[in-house]
């Protein structure tokens, strides 16, 4: 009787142990646990955790991507457009010291954005280029296209022709400032545009300047700051920079930069938070510096 009772007790303990082991395994595979494990792997450096809907990190030396996330998705690019505007204006070799007055035609009637550049204010073409690239001034970009040889429509045609020449097959421009949501491109195409823009010394100079002051009415100075705060960060080595935003595009950022002694082009599109694109750029920098990245990484969409 005692032997039978002892056997029953041992068998019961075995069942309880097996049940506990089974419960532990089930707990280990809960969705929350899986996400936590994935986060841990990501935080340990396998891939950077980026919040932009579209992202690409491109190594200019190897001409290979280090990281991609929806790189072929067609999306509005907002004021990233202004890099192409600047290139075709510079290609036209118009006098940079020529005076251009802001005109009523330069007012944004599409989005109703405001501007500190008042109707009738005179600026040199070089100043308008600087303000369009550094401060993302929409009226400056409009005035540059309006005074392009042949007029505004000729400027837009030149932008699309330039995109075609660069092999940007999925890119289209309808305006010079990026206010039109039908200005679209892909991350792969934008790598080509940023790479081309890096060959223009003035684009490098203007897009990486922290601030610039111009004369307003009655000699009053107006100070403009760069829309990308990273250009003021001494830990960053940036060659080309441009931000963009309209509601349809989200927050956007493209940069050429040297990180961990590697020249890369970073494309971040449709970031959902006001500071997300800057946070993503810093996460990319930290990832590359801490992992000495050498392989092609692809994020799951």
Alpha-carbon span 53 to 90, nearest angstrom: 32
The tokens describing 22, both together, are 């089974």
pTM score of the predicted model: 0.83
Alpha-carbon span 14 to 295, nearest angstrom = 48
Whether 57 has a pLDDT exceeding 70, the answer reads yes
Contact residues for 131 (Cβ-Cβ < 8 A; gap 6+)? 117, 123, 137, 140, 212, 214, 224
Distance from C-alpha of 184 to C-alpha of 206, rounded to nearest angstrom: 24
What's the confidence (pLDDT) of residue 21?
39
Strand-strand pairing, 64-69 and 297-298: parallel
Q: Between 227 and 218, name the one with better pLDDT.
A: 227
**Active-site position among 79, 115, 185, 241:** 79
pLDDT at 1: 44
Inter-CA distances, 107 with 4, 126, 134, 141, 238, Å = 95, 20, 19, 11, 31
Whether 79 is catalytic is: yes
Catalytic residue among 69, 82, 242, 285: 82
How big is the CA angle at 156 (ends 211 and 98), to the nearest 5 degrees? 50
Percent share of the chain, pLDDT over 70? 82
| 82 tagged catalytic | yes
Among 20-29, 89-98, 99-108, 135-144, the range scoring the smallest mean pLDDT is 20-29
pLDDT of residue 273: 85
Coil vs helix vs strand at 52:
coil
Residue 200 CB neighbour total at 10 angstroms: 18
Q: How far is CA 161 from CA 91, 139, 167, in A?
A: 12, 23, 10
Report the pLDDT value the prediction gives residue 292, as an integer from 0 to 100. 64
Give yes or no for residue 9 having a pLDDT over 50. no
Identified catalytic residue from 52, 69, 115, 136 = 136
Range 87-105 burial, b when 16+ CB lie within 10 A, else e:
bbbbeeeeeeeeebebeee
Mean pLDDT of 242-255: 98
Average pLDDT over residues 50-77: 97
pLDDT digits (tens, 9 = 90+) for 256-283: 999 999 999 999 999 988 899 999 999 9
Query: What residues form DSSP beta bridges with 36?
Result: none
- Structure tokens, 172: 């289209």
pLDDT at 189 over 80: yes
Q: Could you tell me which CATH class the domain 50-298 is placed in?
A: alpha beta
Question: Cα 249–252–257 angle (5° rounding)?
Answer: 155
pLDDT > 50? residue 231: yes
For residue 30, indicate whether it is catalytic.
no
**What pLDDT was estimated at residue 219?**
72
Please check whether residue 85 is in contact with residue 176, taking contact to mean a CB–CB distance below 8 angstroms: yes
pLDDT of residue 130: 98
* Tens-place pLDDT, residues 207-219: 999 999 988 777 7
Contact between 44 and 138 under an 8 Å Cβ cutoff? The reply is no
Q: How confident is the model at residue 90 (pLDDT cuts 50, 70, 90)?
A: very high
220 has pLDDT over 90: no
Average confidence score pLDDT of the chain = 86
**Range of lowest pLDDT (36-45, 97-106, 199-208):** 36-45
Q: Would the pLDDT of 205 be above 70?
A: yes
The helix (run of H) or strand (run of E) holding residue 253 is: strand 250-259
How many angstroms separate the CA atoms of 192 and 164, rounded? 11
């Amino acid at each position: 009787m005692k032997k039978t009772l002892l056997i029953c007790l041992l068998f019961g303990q075995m069942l309880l142990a097996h049940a506990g082991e089974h419960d532990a395994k089930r707990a280990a595979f809960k969705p929350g646990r899986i996400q936590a494990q994935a986060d841990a792997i990501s935080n340990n450096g396998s891939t950077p955790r980026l919040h932009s809907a579209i992202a690409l990190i491109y190594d200019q030396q190897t001409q290979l991507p280090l990281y991609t996330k929806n790189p072929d998705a067609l999306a509005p690019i907002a004021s990233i457009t202004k890099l192409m505007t600047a290139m075709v204006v510079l290609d036209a070799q118009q006098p940079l010291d020529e005076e251009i007055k802001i005109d009523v035609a330069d007012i944004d009637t599409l989005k109703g954005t405001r501007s500190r550049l008042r109707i009738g204010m005179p600026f040199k073409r070089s100043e308008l280029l600087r303000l369009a690239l550094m401060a993302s001034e929409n009226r400056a970009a409009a005035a540059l296209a309006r005074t392009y040889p042949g007029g505004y429509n000729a400027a837009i045609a030149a932008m699309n022709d330039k995109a075609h020449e660069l092999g940007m097959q999925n890119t289209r421009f309808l305006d010079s400032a990026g206010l039109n949501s039908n200005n679209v491109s892909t991350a792969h195409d934008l790598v080509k545009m940023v790479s081309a823009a890096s060959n223009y010394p003035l684009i490098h100079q203007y897009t990486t300047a922290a601030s610039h002051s111009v004369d307003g009415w009655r000699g009053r100075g107006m100070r403009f700051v760069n829309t990308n705060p990273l250009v003021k960060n001494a830990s960053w080595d940036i060659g080309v920079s441009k931000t963009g935003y309209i509601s349809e595009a989200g927050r956007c950022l493209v940069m050429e930069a040297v990180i961990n002694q590697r020249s890369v082009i970073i494309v971040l599109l449709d970031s959902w938070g006001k500071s997300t694109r800057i946070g993503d750029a810093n996460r990319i920098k930290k990832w590359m510096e801490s992992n000495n990245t050498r392989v092609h990484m692809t994020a799951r969409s």
